Amino acid sequence: MFDIGFSEILLVAVVALVVIGPERLPGVARSVGRFAGRMQRYVHDIKSDFNREVELEEIRRLQHEMENTVQSMQESMRVVESSLQQEVRQTTLTDPLLQVDQPAAPKAKKVAAPAKDSEGQPVPKDDQLNLF
């Protein structure tokens, strides 16, 4: 920022020593140091506040863009949905095969109960041999 070299600082220190005097020079140096520190903190706070505001504005802009994108996608989905519903209605009205409400349930086959002898034991079929 400022191009101050060692020779310039030495010249300022010698002039301050002559003008202020050796008794008051340490107190003045402390006051100047405190003032410089306050100025640095003040500048740092202003920079950080400015950066925070810039970031916040960027976030708001991104949020607005995302909301617009979501709204446009929702609108396009509504258009596609309505066109598909209209196409389904037209297809069901023109195609008589699609107008069937529900398919008929398949009929269940009756299975005959196995034959039993007088003791209640199942009777073997011809192809099954019961040797015992």
What pLDDT score was predicted for residue 66? 97
- Whether residue 107 is contained in a domain is answered as no
pLDDT tens for each residue of 58-69: 999 999 999 999
* Structural domain that includes position 29: 16-83
Q: Which two tokens stand for residue 74?
A: 């929702």
Q: What is the mean pLDDT of residues 8-32?
A: 89
pLDDT tens for each residue of 108-129: 566 666 667 777 777 666 555 5
- Whether residue 90 is contained in a domain is answered as no
| 94 vs 83, residue with greater confidence | 83
- Whether residue 96 is contained in a domain is answered as no
* 107 SS3 class: coil
Whether the pLDDT of residue 2 is over 90: the answer is no
Of the listed ranges 1-15, 19-33, 49-63, 110-124, the least confidently predicted one is 110-124
- The total domain count for the chain is 1
In angstroms, rounded to a whole number, what is the distance separating the alpha carbons of residues 61 and 4? 43
- Whether residue 104 is contained in a domain is answered as no
* 126 SS3 class: coil
- Whether residue 59 is contained in a domain is answered as yes
- Whether residue 41 is contained in a domain is answered as yes
- Whether residue 122 is contained in a domain is answered as no
- 25 Cβ contact partners less than 8 Å away, ≥ 6 residues apart: 16, 17
Question: Full-prediction pTM beyond 0.85?
Answer: no
- Whether residue 20 is contained in a domain is answered as yes
H or E element: which one contains 72?
helix 25-94
Q: Give me the amino acid identity at 88.
A: V
- Banded pLDDT at 47 (limits 50, 70, 90): very high
